[in-house]
Amino acid sequence: MAVTIKDVARVSGVHVSTVSRAFSAAHLVNSDTRARVLATAEELGYRPNRAARALSTRRTGNLGLIVADIANPFFPPLLKAAQAQARERDYHVFIADTDEQARVEEELIRSMAKQVDGAVLVAPRLTNRVITELAEEIPLVVVNRRLRGVSAVLMDVGAGARQAMEHLLGLGHREIIVASGPGRSWTSGEIERAAEGIANAHGVLVQRVGPNPPTEEGGRAVAEEVVSSGATAVLAHNDLVAFGLVQRVTELGLRVPRDLSVVGVDDSHVARYSSPALTTVGMPVTEAGRGAVDLLLRSVDARGSTGTVTLETSLVTRESTAPPRNA
């Protein structure tokens, strides 16, 4: 005979409604009680009927997670963390990739709207106006975009960029370029503002090159301009742009960091294995993935509620930065 929710309630010593909430609204159940219920369910082999629950709660038990480029090594750790957090809350996650295209992003959100209870947008390329409009149709959380009335998880990349600039200035660099990212990128704007603020405080001018695709090709494309500028250091939009830049300037006959110091942003898993190992701003992607799911489910449970979580970043110093040759 199949195990029922009543069996789980009886063995756990709780009411049936508590078992139901343990699976569908975990925040309403004491953590110890929920752990006991879930352990009992696992022991008895109970699995909730998702279709029946969807009918009774008017929820799908699914979440959407949309990223700009799933091939970018920045995103997979965030996706894994978000999936794990959703699974703990008995939700499934649909993942989609926009290939950096705002039109595709909007289409995906609208097509998902009836299949999920809410969606997380990671590094969105849509305008603020469109995101705000979509948030009226479906609960949304944005990662690395600040919007009034929309829940957000922000990785404080500005603080990391300031650390990177202080590091470069401390090494003696006075001619620094910021290789920016896409025009609508919140992260790129934060990096640029932080770099300019530190440079102005030290009486140094920072040159901006971009906007650029947030890819290795984007880094390669700006290499000639960086070399011809005479700059001794570059703060790149992300690790991929930094990798592409290092590859191309090496082909042009320069050596990193002897002739050019390069700093990335993300601290993706390949940064430590690149040659030279990349100095980069570490981004708390795992915490961001878990936090985004928590915020989204809070919004699903209490429609209209919003919140913002800000996570710290820090500079990871490796081998791609050194004092300029003329220091």
Between the two ends of the chain, the Cα-to-Cα distance in Å is: 79
Nearest of 153, 174, 152, 155 to residue 165 by alpha carbon = 174
pLDDT-derived band at 40 (thresholds 50, 70, 90) equals confident
Q: What is the DSSP secondary structure assignment for residue 128, as one 8-state letter?
A: H
For the segment 307-324, what is each residue's pLDDT rounded down to a tens digit? 899 999 999 999 999 999
Per DSSP, the residues of 194-252 read HHHHHHHHTT--EEEE----SSHHHHHHTHHHHHHHT-SEEEESSHHHHHHHHHHHHHT
pLDDT-derived band at 25 (thresholds 50, 70, 90) equals low
Report the chain's C-alpha Rg in angstroms. 23
45 CB-side CA count, 13 A: 3
Structure token pair of residue 243: 């990798």
Whole-Å CA distances, 81 to 136, 174, 278, 287:
26, 39, 24, 8
Average pLDDT estimate for 4-31:
78
For the segment 261-316, what is each residue's pLDDT rounded down to a tens digit? 999 999 999 899 998 999 999 999 999 999 999 999 998 887 767 889 999 999 99
Instruction: Go through the domains of the chain in sequence order and give each one's CATH number.
Output: 5-56 (1.10.260.40), 60-154+284-311 (3.40.50.2300), 157-283 (3.40.50.2300)
Per-residue pLDDT for 129 more than 90?
yes
Portion of the chain with pLDDT greater than 70, in percent: 94
C-alpha to C-alpha distance for 6 and 265, rounded to whole angstroms:
51
pLDDT reported for residue 30: 80
State which amino acid sits at residue 181: G
Average pLDDT estimate for 164-168:
98
C-alpha to C-alpha distance for 274 and 313, rounded to whole angstroms:
21
Q: Which residue has the tokens 């499934």?
A: 92
Q: Output phi, psi for 163, to 5 deg.
A: -60, -40
Q: Which residues contact 227 (CB under 8 A, 6 or more apart)?
A: 249, 252, 254, 260
pLDDT reported for residue 27: 65
C-alpha to C-alpha distance for 280 and 272, rounded to whole angstroms:
9
pTM of the model: 0.81
Q: Which residues contact 234 (CB under 8 A, 6 or more apart)?
A: 176, 177, 178, 179, 226, 242, 245, 260, 261, 262, 263
Degrees, nearest 5: CA angle 75-286-71: 10
Omega prior to 324 cis, within 30 of 0? no
Burial class (CB within 10 angstroms; exposed 0-12, middle 13-18, buried 19+) of 163: buried
pLDDT-derived band at 55 (thresholds 50, 70, 90) equals very low
Q: Which residues contact 38 (CB under 8 A, 6 or more apart)?
A: 22
